[in-house]
Amino acid sequence: MFTFCKRRITLDGAGDGLLDAEALQSKTIDYLRFPMALAVVFIHSAGDVPMSPVHYDAFTGLDFYNLLRVVFSHVLTHIAVPVFYVISGYLYFLNVKQWSWNEYKRKSRSRLYTLVIPYLLWNVAALLLFGGWSVVKHYMASHVWDFSLFLEQMRGLSWLWNVNEWGANRTNWLGYTVPMTGPINLPLWFLRDLIVVSALSHLVYYWVRYTRKWGLLLLALCYVSNVFPLIQGLRVSAVLFFTLGAYFSINKRNMVMSLRRIEGVLALLTIILVPVVVYYDGVNTHVGSLIYPFYVLSATLFAFCCASRMVQRGCRPNAFLTRSCFFVYAVHSVVIVPISMKILALVFGNSSWLSFSVVYMLSPFLTVLMCVLLYALMLRCFPILALWLTGKR
């Protein structure tokens, strides 16, 4: 049931042992979903020990632990959200024969169930959880729970949009700060931005139609420079990568085969940029923040090439794990990540760089396993709720 990759021989109509282009693209998209969900969990499983710069000149065990976290939580996994945006943009306009307001309304109604309602449900669940925990802490401390103080901490309705903030020290090419924000269920900032850019899909369509490659290049310039209107809920990363996926779909181009034509360039750029971005700790240093967008661009596109190669070799994802990706993404950071880290710390200890490293590397896998099991349990016991929470209703 939970085997991610299975060997299978698939023939196209000619019987030459190869997948046809459309089937390859479809299976590549499915293949990417679960690894990218795991990557998101890695991003939010940074360990209990505060992060410190890696000292390469006097490399110690603690530096090795910090280097692991830089590689897996700050660099390699940061293609996950862009990959999901590309897939979302591509699928949004897939099989649209003629764009119109009626088509836009139809798509918007669909996204109400697949995006907006799950976004609201998961954030309400997080609010109730944090509110309940606040009550428990005040009760244990023999204090009366101050509801007004809790609302102040949630900043009114900001819990639904931008109550969390990070990266306030990051600047763009012009020197302006470009902080990021998220709702109370922090990873859902991706879903928030996806809802907004989907609502603007009518503009995306005409932008692609009339600006073509030049429009993409302009958005790419905005992305690498981070010079873009600072609207929380409409980050340039969402606009660029969603539009990139839409570009292939609107122009009836096979995304995977198009990217495979420049696979060598993407591979070379990614291989060159990875060690540089790792050395400068991703977006967490000034120099790193300048190089980071170029890495994310090349590595995101290269991921589709790598996944398609795996599919061609007969590797395909487990259908159940693919369906569970949204649930894993939505639920993991609220309570599952801390629980998995505590369990692993009890098993392997938490007193040396080696135990820190083991707990860090295993925690995302245990977290995903717990999330998948919880999803299977919900499907069995509360199937209707599980479907609404994952936008499948």
d(CA 389, CA 124): 11
Under 8 Å between Cβ of 248 and 90: yes
- Nearest residue to 82 (alpha-carbon basis) of 32, 23, 24, 22: 32
pLDDT in tens, 46-63: 777 778 889 999 899 999
Over 80: is that where the pLDDT of 7 sits? no
pTM score above 0.85: yes
d(CA 388, CA 393): 5
- For 248-254, which contacts have Cβ atoms below 8 Å and span 24 or more sequence positions? 248/90, 249/89, 249/90, 249/91, 249/92, 249/93, 249/94, 249/96, 250/93, 250/96, 250/99, 250/205, 250/208, 250/209, 251/208, 254/21, 254/22, 254/25
Other Cβ atoms within 10 Å of 270 Cβ, number: 23
Question: Mean of the pLDDT values across residues 311-316?
Answer: 89
pLDDT in tens, 235-249: 999 999 999 999 999
Higher pLDDT, 172 or 13: 172
Question: Mean of the pLDDT values across residues 361-390?
Answer: 95
d(CA 240, CA 138): 45
Question: Mean of the pLDDT values across residues 367-373?
Answer: 97
d(CA 4, CA 35): 9
Quick one: pLDDT at residue 325? 95
- Nearest residue to 254 (alpha-carbon basis) of 11, 54, 70, 90: 90
d(CA 37, CA 332): 10
Residue with tokens 């090349």: 298
Quick one: pLDDT at residue 2? 45
Residue ranges of domains in the chain: 5-389
Residues contacting residue 146 through CB under 8 Å, at least 6 positions apart: 138
Q: Cα 343 vs. chain centroid, distance in angstroms?
A: 25
Confidence of residue 315 (pLDDT cuts 50, 70, 90): confident
Higher pLDDT, 190 or 315: 190
Residues contacting residue 79 through CB under 8 Å, at least 6 positions apart: 36, 39, 296, 299, 300, 303
CA dihedral 48, 53, 56, 57 (to 10 degrees): -120
pLDDT in tens, 106-130: 999 999 999 999 999 999 998 888 7
Over 80: is that where the pLDDT of 221 sits? yes
Question: Mean of the pLDDT values across residues 76-88?
Answer: 97
- Nearest residue to 181 (alpha-carbon basis) of 170, 293, 173, 172: 170
Q: Average pLDDT of the chain?
A: 89
